[in-house]
Amino acid sequence: MTGSLALTVALAVLIGVSLGLLGGGGSILAVPLLVYVADLPAREAIATSLLVVGVTSAVGALPHARAGRVRWRTGLLFGAAGMAGAYGGGRLAAFVPAAVLLTGFALMMLATATAMLRGRRDGPGRQRRELPVARVLLDGVVVGLVTGLVGAGGGFLVVPALALLGGLPMPVAVGTSLVVIAMKSFAGLAGYLSTVAIDWGLAAAVTGAAVLGSLAGGRLAGQVPEDVLRRAFGWFVAAMGVFVLAQQLPQDLRADPLLWTVATTTVAVAVVVAGVRRIRRRLPPPPASSDSNTTGKRQDSM
């Protein structure tokens, strides 16, 4: 148990690094870590992850706030709506089987990985627009409900929503996301505490390590290219999602080598396709053909 605790605490640093660098991803790492390394039951793991991510996000938001990288109006509205959804999701989770929770978590990981790998399509002239209040509240409730229910869907849903919906610059979206994550993580935790007991010693150790990681991640944020980091982490989240989803299959299927062969082949094909598309986007456009140039000259002469 001591070795498992030490490994859990050591790996918890990655939770903070993810939050410091990307403004999200804490629960994506925390839930599998607490379930498969710390050997916690699913509900206890999700509740503990909400505590860890909430505290780490609150600490990580402080330097962003001092640097003016928090949009307080949007963050507080989104966070308030998210708290209501997260509390409801935490209460609802008591009536959902653990296997269903983990399956939902795995599907959320795969959806998150897809969004990360696709990236953001920034539009011109959108950096200063305030987000519409109704849309902020609606998105906040939905994201909060998912967060409270399965312990996932925090920053990697909030950051794209802020960046795509309102055109916030990425650093501002990250800083605002940390405020939102902290608010709704604590609300989701409150929903769980009515039915789940937490190992406070383990939670404190993991939280302390994650906070240290968030400070390190904040310092590394300006040194790692955003696109490289996002894509690498996207593939990592996809692999973790496949692993968690596979763990929910019946034992006879999990032992079937054909299943893992198909899964490995599918992932490999996806990697190749993504690489080819990326190369094509970077290639310069083909030069105009000689026929079109000739036609253009003929029209000019006429």
Measure CA of the first residue to CA of the last residue in the chain; give whole Å: 87
CA–CA distance, 226 with 112 (Å, rounded to integer): 16
pTM: 0.70
Which helix (H) or strand (E) segment is 291 a member of? helix 290-301
Per-residue pLDDT tens for 174-213? 888 889 888 888 988 888 888 898 999 999 999 999 999 8
Domains of the chain, residue spans: 1-119+129-248
Residue pair 277/117 in contact (Cβ under 8 Å)? The answer is no
The sign of the torsion formed by the CA atoms of 178, 182, 183, 185 equals: positive
Average confidence (pLDDT) over 223-229: 70
Per-residue pLDDT tens for 79-101? 898 888 888 888 888 888 888 88
Does residue 252 have a pLDDT over 50?
A: yes
Q: What's the angle, vertex CA 277, arms to CA 272 and CA 279, rounded to 5? A: 95
Q: Compute the mean pLDDT over every residue in the chain, rounded to the nearest whole number.
A: 77
pLDDT confidence band for 266 (50 / 70 / 90):
low
